[in-house]
Amino acid sequence: VLQRPSTVLQGTLDLLILKALSTGELHGLGVSRRIQQITDGTFVVQPGSLFPALHRLEEAGWLKATWQPSENNRRAKYYRLTRAGRRQLGEETAEWNRIALAIARALEA
């Protein structure tokens, strides 16, 4: 697997994780793959960044984790958005759009 830009801004990573989980619960590797999928492979999140971030978001109350059987009948820890997490996703999306727009304008100018 070819690994392109692997360093992701932390805020961006949180946003991506929340977004990845917005359609349903996933386990750690699932989150990483979903991010890769929705960003068309632009972002590949390393496990060394992913797992700490998942736990940080869990402690912040945005994610909730439960142990469940996985597709291939192993046990895996599944994450899903809490209500607060969903709200956070909304706030961060709005914030991101504002900044992205501002930067895009700045670059066009």
Partner 1 sequence: MPHRVMEAGVQLICRLCSLWRNLVHRDRMETDVDDEVRAAFDMLLDENVARGMTPDEARRAATLQLGRVESLKAQVLDAKTGALWAAFLQDVRYGIRLLIRSPVFTLFAIASLALGIGATGSIFLLLDHIVLRTLPVAEPDRLVLASFRTPGRPFNYSLPYPQFAQIRERSTALESVFAINPFGRVTVAVGAQAQMAEGMCVTGDYYRTLRLLPALGRLLMPGDDRPGQAVAVLSHAFWRRGFAGRADVVGAAVALNGIPFTIVGVEPEAFNGVEVGRPYDIAVPMRALDVLNEGSPLWDQAFATWIYVMARLKPGVSLEQAEAESRELFRQASVAGARGEAERQLGRESTLRLEPGAAGANSDLRDTYGSWLRLLLMVFIAVLLLASLNVATLLLARSGARHREIATRLALGAGRERVVRQFLTESLLLGAIAGTFGFALASWGSRVLLRIAVPASERLPVDLTPDYRLVAFTAAVSLLTCVLFGCMPAIRATSPRALVISPLIGSSGRKRLLDRTLVAVQVALSLTLLVAAGLFLRTLGNIWALDTGYDRHNVLMFSVDARLAGRRGQDVPNTYARLLEALRTIPAAQSVTAAAVRPVSDNYYFVSSVRQVGDTSLPEDRRIRVAFNHVAPGFFRTLGISLIAGRDFDERDSLAAPKVVIVSERMARHFNGNPVGQQIRSGGDVLEVVGIVKDIRYANVKDAPREVLYFPMFQVQPARFFTPTFVIRSLGDSTALKRTVGEAVSHIDPGLTVFRMKTLEAQTEDSLSRERLLGTLTGYFGGFAVLLACIGLYGLMSYSVTQRTPEMGLRMALGAPPSAIRWLVVRNATTTVLAGAAVGLVASSAGAGLIRTQLFGIEPHDPIAFAASTLLLLVMAFVAAYLPACRASRIEPIVALRWE
Element (H, E) at 22: none
CA distances from 91 to 32, 59, 95, 104, 108 (A): 22, 18, 6, 20, 26
Helix ranges (DSSP H) in the chain: 10-21, 28-38, 47-59, 83-108
Pick out residues in 64-83 that bind partner 1 (CB under 8 A): 67, 70, 72, 74-77, 83
Q: Which of 53, 63, 81, 89 binds partner 1 (CB under 8 A)?
A: 53
Dist. CA 41–CA 47, nearest whole Å: 16
Q: Which of 51, 64, 93, 96 binds partner 1 (CB under 8 A)?
A: 51
Asked whether position 90 contacts partner 1 by CB under 8 A, the answer is yes
> What amino acid is encoded at 89 in this protein?
L
CA-wise closest residue to 63 among 29, 95, 97, 31:
31
Asked whether position 84 contacts partner 1 by CB under 8 A, the answer is yes
Stretch that binds partner 1, among 13-21, 34-42, 59-67, 97-105 (CB under 8 A): 59-67
Q: Which of 24, 42, 91, 97 binds partner 1 (CB under 8 A)?
A: 91
Contacts with partner 1, residue ranges (CB under 8 A)? 1, 27-29, 46-48, 51-53, 55-56, 58-61, 67, 70, 72, 74-77, 83-84, 87, 90-91
